[in-house]
Amino acid sequence: MTGHKRPFDLAVVGGGALGLSCAWRAAAAGLSVVLLEERRFFHDDAGSGGAERQWRLQYSEEDLTRLVLASIPLWRELETASGRRLIHETGSLWFGEIAESTNEGHIADAAGVLEKCSIPYEWMGAAEIERRFGFRDLPVHYEGFHQPDGGVIDVKGTLFALYAQARAAGADLRDGSRVLAVEPDEEGVRIRVGEETVEAEKVVISAGAFTGELLQPLGLSLDVEIFEMATAYFRPRTAGTDFPSWFAFQKPAEADSNLFYGFGVSPWSPNSLIRVAPDFEVHPLRDARDAAGTPRVTDLERVAEWVGRHLPALEPEPLNPSSCLIALPADHDRGFYLGPLPGTGPAAERVIVCNAGWMFKFAPLFGEICGQLVATGRTEYDIARLTLG
Ligand SMILES: Cc1cc2nc3c(=O)[nH]c(=O)nc-3n(C[C@H](O)[C@H](O)[C@H](O)COP(=O)(O)OP(=O)(O)OC[C@H]3O[C@@H](n4cnc5c(N)ncnc54)[C@H](O)[C@@H]3O)c2cc1C
C-alpha cells in the first residue's frame, strides 16, 4: 500500500547531530519538516555515537576557523534553550611534528590562522608541554600550542538538546524509518520509506557514512572513505588527574597514521575515566553496513602502548572500548561536503547534502546553513570550499 501524506517543505534523512540540527533550524525558520531516522534516536552505531568530541577554534584554513567562530552564537542559543552547558572550555593542546599534514590539519598553518584571526594561543616546546600537561618522553623537537577556548563537547547533551528544540519547533521526528530511495522530480521529492512514500519540496541527506547509498542512484559519488575508528578510556592513577583536549601530530608509522588524541575528565561525567583514541585512517570500509561494531585489537594495543609511554598519570589498560563510524573526504583540504547536488534539474534544485569530516563542532551552524539553502537557495556563510560542484 502506498500512503501519500501531505507534502512537507523539507524531509531530512538521518537523525544524527547534523540531521537533528537541520530539522531544528529549518523548523525554527517556519518550514514544515519531517526527519526520518532508520534506527532509534541517540544510538551509538553511526557517527554521532559516544560521549565527547573535541571543540577547537584552530583550523589550518582561515575560512573553517571563521565558520567555527560563526557557530558559537548558535551553540549558545542551544545551551540557553536546553538549560545545559554543551561546550566545556578545558583548552585545546596541539603538539608534535609542526609541519606534518594530517586529516586534522597542520600545526604551523593553524597557528598562522589563529594569529590572523587575533585568537589567543601560547606556543611551547616539548619540555614545557611535558611539564605543564603531564606528558612524558616526547621527542625533543616536538612543539605546539595551547588555545584556551578549545575544549570538549557533551555529545549526548547536544543530541538531546537538538532533538528537543527540533520537536519544540514543530518538526515531525520519526525513528525506525529507513529511507530506501530519494526521488526528486519537477513536482517535489518522493522519499521511499518501506511501503510508505513521504513527499517533500526538498530533502537534506545527512545519513553520515550511509549517505553514499542514497546518492549513488542519483548519479553522484562523493570522494569519501569510511573508517571505523577505535576509542577507549583509561583510569587515572591518582584523583584530580586532568588534561585539556589534545591532539598529537606524528609522522606515520609503518602500519598506521600514528595519530592520537585525548581528553580530560568529561566535566559532565560521573566517573573520572579519561578517553584516549587513535586516529588511524586504515582499512577503509567498502560499505558502512559492513562495520564490525567493535574496535580492532591492534588499534587498542597501539593506543595502550602510547598511553603507557607518554601519559604516566594513566593506567595503560584500555577500558570500555568501542568504535565509531566516520566518513572522511579523501581530499583533506576540503573538510566537508555541504550544499546542493551539482548540475541543473530537479536533483540540483531539491537535494542538499551535508556529509563527511569532523563535523560535530559545526552541527548547529551546518543545520542553519542547510535551513537557509532550503528556504532561499542561498546562505550568508562562506561555504565555497565545501560545495559539491
Ligand atoms: C571517533 C570519532 C571522533 C570524532 N571526533 C570529532 C571531534 O573531535 N570533533 C568534531 O567536530 N567531530 C568529530 N567527529 C565527527 C562527528 O562526530 C561527525 O561528523 C558527526 O557526528 C556526524 O553526524 P551526522 O549526523 O552527519 O552523521 P551520523 O551521526 O552518522 O548520523 C547519520 C544518521 O543517519 C541514519 N541513517 C543512515 N542511513 C539512513 C537511511 N537510509 N534512512 C534513514 N536514516 C539513515 C543513521 O542511523 C544515523 O543515525 C568524530 C567522529 C568519530 C567517529
Report ipTM (2 d.p.).
Answer: 0.99
Q: Per the domain annotation, does 299 fall within a domain? A: yes
pLDDT for res 3:
46
Specify whether 304 is located in the same domain as 364: no
Q: Which of 55, 59, 233, 358 is catalytic?
A: 358
Render 63-113 in DSSP notation, one character per residue.
HHHHHHHHHHHHHHHHHHHHTS--EE---EEEEE-TT--BTTB-HHHHHHH
How far is the centre of ligand 1, averaged over its atoms, from the C-alpha of 74 (Å)?
19
Q: What pairing do the DSSP bridges indicate for beta strands 92-96 and 245-249?
A: parallel
Question: Is 192 an annotated catalytic residue?
Answer: no
Q: What CATH number is associated with residue 308?
A: 3.30.9.10
Show the ligand 1 pocket: residues with CB < 6 angstroms.
13-19, 36-39, 46-48, 53-54, 178-179, 206-210, 214, 229, 231, 324-326, 358-361
Residue partners of 23: CB distance under 8 A and separation at least 6: 10, 12, 33, 35, 162, 166, 169, 171, 173, 367
Cα distance from N-terminal residue to C-terminal residue, the chain = 38
Ligand 1 atom showing the smallest separation from residue 360 Cα = 11
Q: Which of 9, 38, 53, 324 is catalytic?
A: 324
Specify whether 104 is located in the same domain as 128: yes
Specify whether 165 is located in the same domain as 294: no
Cell numbers 609522522: residue: 251
129 with 107: CB under 8 angstroms?
no
pLDDT for res 57:
98
Specify whether 144 is located in the same domain as 170: no
Q: Per the domain annotation, does 3 fall within a domain? A: no
C-alpha cell at 97: 611534528
C-alpha cell at 219: 548519479
Specify whether 236 is located in the same domain as 307: yes
- Look up the domain containing 363 and give its range: 8-49+156-223+334-386
Could you list the mean pLDDT of each consecutive 10-residue stretch along the chain, which spans 389 residues? 68 98 98 98 96 97 98 98 97 97 94 98 98 98 98 98 98 98 96 95 98 96 95 96 97 95 93 95 94 96 98 98 95 91 92 96 98 97 94
- The DSSP element (H or E) to which 228 belongs, if any, is strand 224-234
Specify whether 30 is located in the same domain as 168: yes
Specify whether 368 is located in the same domain as 321: no
Specify whether 95 is located in the same domain as 193: no
Q: Per the domain annotation, does 58 fall within a domain? A: no
Q: Per the domain annotation, does 145 fall within a domain? A: yes
How far is the centre of ligand 1, averaged over its atoms, from the C-alpha of 317 (Å)?
27
Q: Which of 310, 329, 348 marks a domain boundary? A: 329
Q: Which of 24, 25, 48 to mutate to test the pocket of ligand 1 (most atoms within 8 A of CB)?
A: 48
Question: CA nearest 155: which of 324, 36, 353?
Answer: 324
Q: Per the domain annotation, does 285 fall within a domain? A: yes
Q: Per the domain annotation, does 65 fall within a domain? A: no
259 with 248: CB under 8 angstroms?
yes
Q: Which of 311, 329, 347 marks a domain boundary? A: 329
In the chain, the number of structural domains is 2
Specify whether 194 is located in the same domain as 130: no
Specify whether 257 is located in the same domain as 368: no
